[in-house]
A and B are shown apart, each in its own frame.
Chain A
Amino acid sequence: MTIQDLRFKLQRFRLLTSTLHPSPFTLHLPPFTLTLAALAISTLFPEKSYAMHISEGILPLNWAALWFAVAMPFVAYGIWRLKTVSKTDLSFKPLVGLMAAAVFIISCMPIPVPTAGTSSHPCGTAISGILVGPTISILISAVALLIQALFLAHGGLSTWGANIVSMGVIGSFAGYGVFKLMRGVKLNLTISAFFAGLLADWATYLTTSVELASGIRGDAPFMPLVTKIIIAFIPTQLPLGILEGFITAGMVSLLLKKRPDLLVRFGVIKAGEVKV
């Protein structure tokens, strides 16, 4: 066992004991028991959690088809953009393929979530949205999600559309939009990247909650269930979003330090902004 493993085990134990004595604020929340149950279950299972992906079979056929129909125009537009750019730049397709491989690996990396005592994984869509733009980033997510569904059991074929909408469409547009907005008001590159990563992650989880509620609600009212799922996600996803923000900021600052030419090529910064 490594030192890290030991630390996570200790954090998990600490969490379990703190869960038994919740703060008065937590007790006032109506779906507190749901959160407690989710926490307790995630604590009992030491496996890493891949909650970002909606698993195969969760959505009934009609909802799976609906989310697929929502996702496909975005994917089709991404393919059209890829085809158009590839006509003039033959290196673009390999570049997008490699970016997809990088996003695949990043979104498979477990990162510890100390408050929940489990580990989850970052989306990676914020960084791809910042670098190659949201439309190509959606395509990258679609590719990464399909390979994960087929060969790693993360996500699924029937939930592919729903996962593309939450991680690809919402994650990419949120990351890209926030980054552009913050850069527009002349905020620092690293801070902009931090908020892009943070809000892309949280936006993904909000969408995932809506999609999950649509799939599992049965005859139950929709909005209370969405609220319950969001609250159940909070213990892991609130800190995970912050961690993803730090990671995105770290990535961008490393690129700025080591390969600013890449940021210029991707149009993230102007050539004049690079310090020699």
Chain B
Amino acid sequence: MELFSEHLKKEHLLSKIDARIKLIVVFTLLVMVLSYKGISFPLIIAILCLFLCLMMRVPFRVVILRFSEPMFIASVLLLLKFFFSGEEALFSINILGLKIVGHKDGLIEGLKISSRIIGAVSLLAVLGFATPFTEFMAGLSWFKVPKPFVELLMLTYRYIFVLFEDAGVIYNAQRNRLGYSGIKKGLRSFGTLTGALIIRAFEHSQKTSLAMLQRGYTGDMPMLRQRPFKTAEVTTAILFVFVMGIIWKI
């Protein structure tokens, strides 16, 4: 499994920017994309984000992988809107006795939804590629997200990789013993695998609690301290959002 933040390269411009500023900018642009009634603004955002991803030297394969699922959903929605909603017919064809009608208003509506998906996903992709998880957590705690929730996020993130490795070992062992050689066998093996994961999770949690208690854990975990905001970063962010706001308004 690869989490996309692993492709973070330290030496580019975006990784040096304060995570809080990145979060505010992304959130503001996300609101603009979601509330935009046309097609152009989300597409401008998508092109800009794609450019930023390539500037961050994220491998093209990873960018494609990241966009494959949202693109698939966007295409399905576009087709569904085009063929199954709307009133103004653009064309009609007969396939195997089925009359399929493409609608002009459905196509426009579908394009709006699809561009919104692509624009919003691009923003999230840039945020994911440009922000290390720990900084993201520190940013969230600065925004007064409840501490237990942030701590839970950190614990979960830490142990995803441990449990994933465990799952891989169990899966390989099952496969080597023909555990997936039939639907019935496969289902039983999959149930065992997930059950074993729960058992492993419990065992790891016991060990982790003990280790944390031995290191003075009293119920609260320390967070990264945030450095003061840099004037240049804040000014650039305000200017950027202002320019995007003008484009959004036009």
Contact = CB atoms under 8 A, between A and B. Distances in A.
A and B found bound together? yes
A152 B4 contact: yes
Contact of B187 (A61, A64, A106, A246): A246
Given A64-B34, A105-B160, A41 B76 contact: yes
B198 A127 contact: yes
Nearest to A102: B201
A94 B195 CA distance: 18
B6 to A, nearest CB: 9
Q: What does DSSP make chain B's interface, helix, strand, loop or mixed?
A: helix
B224 interface: no
Contacts of B81: 216, 218
Given A37-B80, A58-B113, A247-B190, A147 B35 contact: no
B122 to A, nearest CB: 9
Contact of A251 (B136, B158, B194): B194
Contacts of B205: 91, 94-95, 97-99
Band of interface residues on A: 35 or more
Given A143-B152, A150-B128, A246-B187, A158 B69 contact: no
B153 A153 contact: no
A12 to B, nearest CB: 15
Interface string A37-67: 1100100010100100001111111001000
Given A102-B201, A218-B85, A55 B117 contact: yes
Contact of A98 (B34, B72, B80, B204): B204
B219 A33 contact: no
Contacts of B202: 95, 98, 259, 262
B197 A38 contact: no
B238 interface: no
Interface stretch (B50-58, B207-215, B241-249): B207-215
A149 interface: yes
B191 interface: yes
B157 interface: yes
B206 to A, nearest CB: 7
Contacts of B156: 97-98, 100-101, 104, 143-144, 147
Nearest to B167: A105
Interface in A220-257: 220, 225, 228, 243, 246-255
Contacts of A181: none
A176 B5 CA distance: 34
A5 B108 CA distance: 39
Contact of B4 (A57, A95, A151): A151
Nearest to B79: A37
A248 B191 CA distance: 7
Given A60-B34, A151-B3, A254-B195, A47 B83 contact: no
Contacts of A248: 191
A56 B199 contact: no
Contact of B188 (A91, A127, A250): A250
A1 B212 CA distance: 44
A162 interface: no
Interface in B136-182: 136, 146, 148-149, 151-160, 162-164, 167, 180-181
Which are the 6 A-B pairs with shortest beta-carbon distances?
Answer: A250-B191, A97-B155, A57-B120, A254-B195, A91-B209, A57-B117
19 contacts: A3-B181, A33-B98, A41-B75, A57-B33, A57-B120, A58-B77, A60-B34, A60-B35, A60-B116, A86-B219, A90-B218, A90-B219, A94-B155, A101-B201, A102-B198, A104-B156, A109-B167, A143-B153, A250-B191
Interface of B: 1, 3-5, 27, 30-31, 33-35, 42, 66-70, 72-77, 79-81, 83-85, 96, 98, 100, 109, 113, 116-121, 124-125, 127-128, 133, 136, 146, 148-149, 151-160, 162-164, 167, 180-181, 183, 187-188, 190-192, 194-202, 204-206, 208-209, 212-213, 217-219
